[in-house]
Amino acid sequence: MIFTKGSVYGKAAFLVVQLVSLQVYAFEMSDITATIGNGGLETYVNKYGY
């Protein structure tokens, strides 16, 4: 579906996407932090291929 920027649905969808991406980013960062805290950075890199 294509949302135009002017429409209410478009703005709502954009906000939802922003919120979801923020949550995913926060989760990824906490995951990385926890991994580094456990001293398993190499394991993380191998697991996710980063």
Query: What does DSSP assign to residue 40?
Result: -
Q: Is the pLDDT of residue 13 over 60?
A: yes
pLDDT band, residue 26 (cuts 50/70/90): confident
Q: Calculate ∠ Cα 43-44-50, nearest 5°.
A: 120
User: pLDDT per residue over 29-48, tens digit each?
Assistant: 777 666 665 655 566 566 66
Reported confidence tier of residue 24, pLDDT bands at 50, 70, 90 = confident
What φ, ψ does residue 4 adopt, rounded to 5°? -85, 145
